[in-house]
Amino acid sequence: MTARDEVLARIRYALSAPADPVDPPRDYRRTGEHAPGAPQLLQLLTERLTDYKATVHSATPQTLGSVLATALHGTHRVVVPPGLPEEWMPASAVVDDGDLSYADLDTVDAVLTACVAAAADTGTIVLDAAADQGRRAITLIPDRHVCVVRAAQVVQSVPELLTRADPRRPLTFISGPSATSDIELQRVEGVHGPRNLIVVILND
Amino acid sequence: MTGSAQPRRVVALGMPRHATGPLAAPITAPEPFADAAARKLKDTQLRANLGHATRTIRDKRAAVVAEVDDWEALRDRAAAVKDDVIARLPELLARFASAATAAGATVHHAADAQQANDIVLGLVQAEQADRVVKVKSMTTQEIGLNEVLEAAGIAAIETDLAELIVQLAHDKPSHILVPAIHYNRSQIRDLFALRMPGFAADSDDPAQLAGAARRYLREQFLSAQVGVCGANFAVAETGSLVIVESEGNGRMCLTLPRTLIAVVGIEKLVPHMADLGDFLRLLPRSSTGERMNPYTSIFTGVTPGDGPQQLHIVLLDNGRGAVAADPVGKQALRCIRCSACLNVCPVYERVGGHAYGSVYPGPIGAILSPQLTGQQAGHNRSLPYASTLCGACYDVCPVKINIPEILVHLRQTGPKPLAERQLMSALSWVMRDRRRWKAALRAARAGSAPLRLMTRRRGHTLRRAPWPLSAWTAHRDAPLPAQESFRDWWRRTHE
């Protein structure tokens, strides 16, 4: 008898007494009050991100270049995923083709990516490792993460995010920079993940 | 018949078993709760640290919970989803295992702590690794994995800041979310200065201390071959694991090592990806008092070119099947380890987590530890009494576990001292018969008559009785029997 059979047999035995079947009411909210990209959502997203110590900029396709230059100010090498839109590409870009070692990534100054969706209620952005976001390591090791969120990607709530994310891809939900509450339960920002999170909301 | 030549092995197949043996030590109280609590109450520094920390977190939680207009509906739904999981565990476990396997993970099953530790140790040795980096995980605390790895010469490096503090102090965790809640900032600074190589910080500012941990662990993360984690949720339909964290140490351990080993309690399942929405709204608000924790990772099997290329998932029973068999106690398996019940508990706030003698402290620990091990183990039978039954834990529980109800249930069903059992069976004999009962009341009245005069000014209440009744009067007053029984009164006035 394998451990698997043993575990399953025990649970079957434990559950052999008749119990009332449970039918959870799955009346989840799958849409928000506001349509994706609504100005109210962009405003709320900005407030919530700022509340959790992220920096937020707003841009149009015309101003994006200069906004990104501000966000990347002071950096020498910026790692970018292979599928980043050409027009976002900074001059100092190092394109990650999957070969950069972790030690290399530890020496770059920042990472610039897109995202797959964002939720205004909680100030959460979601990465799914698509070509414009790259493998998970590049958004983890550098100390500054600049993330461009397109207005149409902004939904209201976390449950809505789940409908937009494909669980077969590795997903990372990011709500502000790395933080800890482990000392006296007081929140301080900046531990192992990027200590600076800069979000650029692109009204395109 | 050729088959009959083989001796038939008689095994008690499938009887749910408690977590037992020396490896149940992390969840077994070594002394009665009352003794440990009495000692901890004398530690004024501990009480100051805990009072400050729990007050902070209670206020934060209340503020972010108030922002959610459908909080009560969320709690009801989350409780129902977890009850559904517990009722359908075999089916959902099989579904999870096949989905995870299809996505490239290797799924193992462990009936108890020993089996789980053996599996993990074997995997780490197969990788020829001399150390592992760990995401904070209650499940690996429960099975004492670090001790087993260290006995085999493998360093288990805790990377969560609070776990790191506890590890550097050679101490034990005292809170589910913040295992180092019993330390204040200056104690942590002194500890780092003593035990953290290369520590340099000129103040005990928490931001500086967090920065020191970042520098100390970075090299470990970048060079780790094996990561070990638990899981906050496991999604049956997709085979995905969900890890909720704040510091980024979790992402480091889940992303950078070649091999990742996840030890997952079987009750962590949720049926569908869409079910996560409620839990991700409930957990951070209940736990750290944040709208959303900084990082949540969801991953399914292995992704070529991204993250670990080997994923092992160890599904752990360790007494959970036995809990599922108890119609009242099984609610405890809904627990998502948020620790809100600890932060509101008047008992926990004063005695701290160590008094419970288990890695699961506080109200949830008082119902979980004795159920996982069985009440006979160590002094776990004393844990259901570590409560005033005030019900604050039930009010804040995001999955609506009726903790007071289970505490009372465990008190009723738990083993009792011999004297109490004898007293109760004598009382039951007396009360079964009207004449015996009447005679007993008469005797009690006659026996206590001399005391009535003495206690006249105190409402006929005894403050101090001689042994063995002193066990009662040490904590409460004892009222004397009434001068006249109800029956006598009725007869006198109505007949």
**Complex ipTM value:** 0.94
Domains of chain A: 52-202 (3.40.50.10420)
User: pLDDT under 70 in chain B at which residues?
Assistant: 1-15
Alpha carbon of A90: minimum distance to chain B alpha carbons (Å):
24
Tokens of A145: 């993460």
Q: Do A25 and B213 touch (CB under 8 A)?
A: no
Extents of the domains making up chain B: 33-320, 334-413, 427-494
What is the DSSP pairing of strand A154-155 with strand A117-119?
parallel
B chain contacts of residue A121, beta-carbon cutoff 8 Å: 291
| 3-state helix, strand and coil shares in percent for chain A, rounded to the nearest 5 | 25, 25, 50
The predicted structure's pLDDT at residue B170: 93
Residues of A (19-58) whose Cβ lies below 8 Å from B: 19, 21-28, 48, 52
Residues of B (360-389) whose Cβ lies below 8 Å from A: none
B chain contacts of residue A108, beta-carbon cutoff 8 Å: none
Whether A191 and B248 have beta carbons less than 8 Å apart is answered as: yes
Burial code (b: 16+ CB inside 10 Å, e: under 16) for A56-83 equals: bbebeeeebeebbeebbeebeebbbbee
Q: What is the mean pLDDT of residues A123-138?
A: 97
Model confidence at A24: pLDDT above 90: no
B chain contacts of residue A103, beta-carbon cutoff 8 Å: 222
Burial code (b: 16+ CB inside 10 Å, e: under 16) for B415-431 equals: eeeeeeeeeeeeeeeee
A chain contacts of residue B65, beta-carbon cutoff 8 Å: none
Tokens of A101: 């070692």
Residue among A52, A163, A191 minimizing CB distance to B161: A191
B chain contacts of residue A130, beta-carbon cutoff 8 Å: none
The predicted structure's pLDDT at residue B136: 96
Q: Any idea what DSSP says for residue A142?
A: S
| Cα–Cα dist B196/B290, whole Å | 30
* Nearest residue in chain A measured CA to CA from B115: A3
Tokens of B193: 């200065």
B chain contacts of residue A17, beta-carbon cutoff 8 Å: 325, 327
A chain contacts of residue B76, beta-carbon cutoff 8 Å: 25
Angle (CA) B208-B296-B306 rounded to 5° is 100
Q: What is the mean pLDDT of residues A5-18?
A: 78
Q: How far is CA B424 from the centre of its chain?
A: 31
Q: What is the CATH number of domain B33-320?
A: 3.40.50.10420
Reported as half-sphere exposure (CB side, CA atoms, 13 A), residue A107 has a value of: 5
CA distances from B116 to B7, B20, B23, B99, B447 (A): 29, 13, 11, 21, 60
A chain contacts of residue B294, beta-carbon cutoff 8 Å: 52, 174-179, 193
pLDDT tier, A20 (very low <50, low <70, confident <90, very high otherwise): low
Query: Does the CA dihedral B350-B355-B358-B364 come out positive or negative?
Result: negative
A chain contacts of residue B292, beta-carbon cutoff 8 Å: 119, 122-124, 158, 173, 175
Residue among A15, A185, A188 minimizing CB distance to B210: A188
Of A2 and A76, the structure prediction assigns the larger pLDDT to: A76
Share of chain B above pLDDT 90, in %: 81
Helix and strand element counts for chain A (H, E): 5, 12
Pick among B8, B13, B292 to test the A interface (most A CBs inside 10 A): B292
Whether B333 and B325 have beta carbons less than 8 Å apart is answered as: no
Residue A169 touches partner B, C-beta closer than 8 Å: yes
Q: What is the mean pLDDT of residues A101-106?
A: 95
Residues of B (422-461) whose Cβ lies below 8 Å from A: none
How many CB atoms lie under 10 A from the CB of residue A18?
6
The predicted structure's pLDDT at residue B5: 43
pLDDT tier, A22 (very low <50, low <70, confident <90, very high otherwise): confident
* Nearest residue in chain B measured CA to CA from A54: B294
Whether B210 and A191 have beta carbons less than 8 Å apart is answered as: yes
The predicted-structure confidence for A140-189, as pLDDT tens digits, reads as follows 999 999 999 999 999 999 999 999 999 999 999 999 999 998 898 888 88
Residues of B (108-137) whose Cβ lies below 8 Å from A: 108-111, 115
Residue A173 touches partner B, C-beta closer than 8 Å: yes
B chain contacts of residue A10, beta-carbon cutoff 8 Å: 14-17, 111, 317, 321-322
The predicted structure's pLDDT at residue B14: 56
Q: How far is CA B255 from the centre of its chain?
A: 28
B chain contacts of residue A180, beta-carbon cutoff 8 Å: 161, 206, 210, 246-247
The pTM assigned to this predicted structure is 0.90
Residues of B (239-268) whose Cβ lies below 8 Å from A: 240, 246-249, 251-252, 255-256, 266
How many pairs of residues across A and B have Cβ atoms under 8 Å apart? 273
Q: Do B276 and A162 touch (CB under 8 A)?
A: yes
Residues of B (186-225) whose Cβ lies below 8 Å from A: 188, 206-207, 209-211, 213-214, 217-218, 221-223
Residue among A8, A11, A129 minimizing CB distance to B324: A11
Whether A142 and A113 have beta carbons less than 8 Å apart is answered as: no
| Cα–Cα dist B368/B406, whole Å | 10
B chain contacts of residue A170, beta-carbon cutoff 8 Å: 297-300, 303, 306-307
The predicted-structure confidence for A78-96, as pLDDT tens digits, reads as follows 999 999 999 999 999 999 9
Whether A77 and A96 have beta carbons less than 8 Å apart is answered as: no
* Nearest residue in chain B measured CA to CA from A192: B248
Q: Do A10 and B209 touch (CB under 8 A)?
A: no
The predicted structure's pLDDT at residue B12: 44
* Nearest residue in chain A measured CA to CA from B179: A182
Q: At CB < 8 A and 24+ separation, what contacts does A81-86 make?
A: A81/A113, A81/A114, A81/A131, A81/A132, A81/A133, A81/A134, A81/A135, A81/A138, A82/A131, A82/A134, A83/A130, A83/A131, A83/A132, A83/A134, A84/A112, A84/A113, A84/A114, A84/A132, A85/A114, A85/A132
Residue B95 touches partner A, C-beta closer than 8 Å: no
